[in-house]
Amino acid sequence: MAHDPGAPLRVALLGCGVVGSSVARMLVEQADDLAARCGVPLELVGIAVRRPGRPRPDVPVDPSLFTADAEELVTRADVVIEVIGGIDPARGLILRAMEHGASVVSANKALVAEDGPTLFEAAAKHGVDVYYEAAVAGAIPILRPVQESLAGDRVHRVMGIVNGTTNFVLDKMDGTGAGFAETVAEAQALGYAEADPTADVEGFDAAAKAAILASMAFHTRVSAADVYREGITEVTAADIRAAQDNDCVVKLLAICERVTSDGSDAVSVRVHPAMVPLGHPLASVREAFNAVFVESAAAGELMFYGRGAGGDPTASAVLGDVVAVARHRVAGGRGPGESAYADLPIVDLGQAVTRYHISLDVADRPGVLAQVATAFAEHGVSIETVRQQAGPDGDGRAKLIVVTHRATDSALAATVEALAALDAVEGVASVMRVEGA
């Protein structure tokens, strides 16, 4: 859709929370730079909020720009920025904006991960852009590099720390030795975790981002429902200590892998806590930072690191997209749309292959190791190292710590079941995947 040369582009903002406030402020404060970079001025024509009358001293715009009528606002904009979040009403507003010819920039990971194809198809139909760099890893440019810079390469694996809250919690647990509940409470007090932390600690947020990353990396539609998901609520101080003993740290990882299934390429996407060896670049990602590690055939190993959340960092990603879609409006044409041509099958977790760290409480008597080793062998899981820790003197108990070679999740699950049934095994204290070795 060609644009009148020189005429300002009309920008509408949906939502004015933490991210929206930053976007509005940057649109005003950097107006000259944005105009030079877009080729035309950007004119903020309205901000849709629930309560337009509420004073917002941190948003330096004419108060008459606030409106409760988002439905009307999206019909009079060239570019609509959606930072409301959630599925509805965001989806309806985005679709309505595109019907009226607007390009859309969104930070909405939940919506893109649940129903991206509906948005992409509407964008294609109406000849507009829908961009959402801010939906994954906040300020870190990761979608554009995967979609564009690596377009001539073949991505093998994308492995990311994409949720700042859980990384903050796990990093603190690693530093203090404290347990999960206590550390979440501390994160809440510091503003790193929400009052209801479910979306973060149960891995829903990371799973949405994993779906978006996998879709782009493998040119295949992957939705949040396709992602195996395990949060960090079961990670104990003992798990963290076990990781330390194994020269690892525990991280919540979003892993998108190209795998082989029945002789053909397929995709495995999963979110779970994992031990990461200290020498791996992801191990040193501290506090609430995010990082995404990409392995591809030609480029080799790449890592992208930065702030994954927060008003200004997310607004930086939003405005980068705004400049891109604005340039397209000015020049005519669209950016690269959805690419789902590869349409690879998505395998379930059982086919995912990785290494495991298993900690067993066993009886301290001869022959136990042989029984345990046999259980692994019978399920085709090969042991890399095994370490035995005697319990307190004379209590007749010991701990066996086993690290396996690469095995499928289904083989490992069957092994763990068999181990639990052994007389000599009093309990399976923990099972954790080891990634990035």
Q: Is 223 annotated as a binding residue?
A: no
Nearer to its own copies, 172 or 280 (CB): 280
Angstrom distance (rounded) from CA 61 to CA 362? 67
How near is the Cβ of 181 to its own copies at its closest, in Å? Answer: 30
State the burial class of residue 297 (Cβ atoms within 10 Å of its Cβ: 0-12, 13-18, 19+): exposed
Residues at the interface with its own copies (CB under 8 A): 22, 26, 30, 33-34, 36-37, 133, 139-141, 144-145, 148-154, 219, 281, 284, 296-307, 310, 312-313, 315-324, 327-328, 331-334, 336, 339, 341-342
What torsion, rounded to 10 degrees, do the Cα atoms 340, 341, 347, 353 define? Answer: -100
Token readout for 318 is: 């939003």
Helices (H) and strands (E) in the chain, counts: 14, 17
To which residue do tokens 């307190």 refer? 392
Angstrom distance (rounded) from CA 437 to CA 273? 15
Q: Is 251 annotated as a binding residue?
A: no
Name the residues annotated as catalytic: 209
Token readout for 71 is: 């439905």
Angstrom distance (rounded) from CA 304 to CA 61? 34
How near is the Cβ of 240 to its own copies at its closest, in Å? Answer: 22
415-421 LR contacts (CB < 8 Å, sep 24+): 415/375, 415/376, 415/379, 415/381, 416/358, 418/375, 418/378, 418/379, 419/358, 419/360, 419/372, 419/375
Nearer to its own copies, 87 or 342 (CB): 342
How near is the Cβ of 279 to its own copies at its closest, in Å? Answer: 10
Q: Is 109 annotated as a binding residue?
A: yes
How near is the Cβ of 186 to its own copies at its closest, in Å? Answer: 23
Q: Is 46 annotated as a binding residue?
A: no
Nearer to its own copies, 207 or 324 (CB): 324
Q: Is 362 annotated as a binding residue?
A: no
Angstrom distance (rounded) from CA 274 to CA 174? 13
Q: Is 194 annotated as a binding residue?
A: yes
Angstrom distance (rounded) from CA 49 to CA 95? 18
Nearer to its own copies, 185 or 342 (CB): 342
How near is the Cβ of 424 to its own copies at its closest, in Å? Answer: 43
Beta bridge partners of 404: 383
Beta bridge partners of 260: 265
To which residue do tokens 């981002």 refer? 209
Nearer to its own copies, 244 or 339 (CB): 339
CA distances from 146 to 284, 352, 378, 421 (A): 22, 22, 41, 45
How near is the Cβ of 320 to its own copies at its closest, in Å? Answer: 4
Nearer to its own copies, 95 or 317 (CB): 317
Over its C-alpha atoms, the chain yields an Rg (Å, rounded) of 25
- Which residues sit in the known binding site for NADP(+)? 14-21
- Which residues sit in the known binding site for NADPH? 109
- Which residues sit in the known binding site? 14-21, 109, 194
